Amino acid sequence: MLSFVVAISNNNVIGLDNKIPWYLPDDLKKFKEITTGKTKTMIMGRKTFESLPQILPDRQHVVLTRDKNYKVDDNRVTIVNNEEDLEKYIKDEKEYFVIGGEEIFSLLFPYTNKMYITEIDADIPGDTFFLKYDEKDWKVVELKKGKIDEDNKYEHLFKTLERK
C-alpha cells in the first residue's frame, strides 16, 4: 500500500532548487513520526534521495531512478529502475511512504491509497509542485492544526486523506 507524505504551500509548491523552501520544525517532527521505524520504508526519486542530508536513520530507503548504473553502498538503500521491481511495493499490504519528488508523486498517484499532507498557509516561491487532485475522491480521516511559534512561522494544518 502506498501513502504519500508531503508538505504543500497554498500555491502547490513542494520544492525549490532540490530543497524544501521553508523551515517548519513541526512538519519535520510529523514526517519523522510517520516514517520512522525499523520496519518502515520510504520510496523516493533519486533527486529527493540526493537532497537528504544523510541516509535517514531507522527506516529503509527505496530510490527510483532511470540510471541503471546508480549505486548506493548501504544496506538501508534499495535501487529500483524498472516497473516490475516497483510492483511489489504497490501490491503489498504493508504501508510504504512515498516522499517525492514531483515526478514520483505523479507516477505513483494512481496507486496511492492515503496521503499525509501538511498544508502550509503561505504562497512560497518554488520550481517543484504537487500534482492537482480532486478532493472529492478523498475523505479526511484526520485534521490537526500545527503549532505556530518563533521556529514555526507559517500557519499549517496536518491532514490525512484516504481514497474513497
Question: pLDDT tens digits, residue range 133-159?
Answer: 999 999 999 999 999 999 999 999 999
What DSSP element (H or E) covers 41? strand 41-45
> What does DSSP say about strands 156-163 and 2-9: parallel, antiparallel, or unpaired?
unpaired
Question: Mean pLDDT over residues 62-66, rounded?
Answer: 97
Q: What CA–CA distance (Å, rounded) separates 90 from 81? A: 15
Please give the single-letter amino acid code of residue 32: K
Is-above-0.85 flag for pTM?
A: yes
* Residue keyed to cell 533519486: 46
CATH, domain 2-163, list 3.40.30.10, 3.40.50.10800, 3.40.430.10, 3.40.50.10860: 3.40.430.10
Above 90 in pLDDT, residue 84? no
Q: What CA–CA distance (Å, rounded) separates 93 from 50? A: 28
Task: Let me know if 16 is exposed, middle or buried by CB neighbors in 10 A (0-12, 13-18, 19+).
Answer: middle
Task: Let me know if 56 is exposed, middle or buried by CB neighbors in 10 A (0-12, 13-18, 19+).
Answer: middle
How many alpha carbons lie under 13 Å from residue 123 in its C-beta half-sphere? 1
Domain boundaries, the chain: 2-163
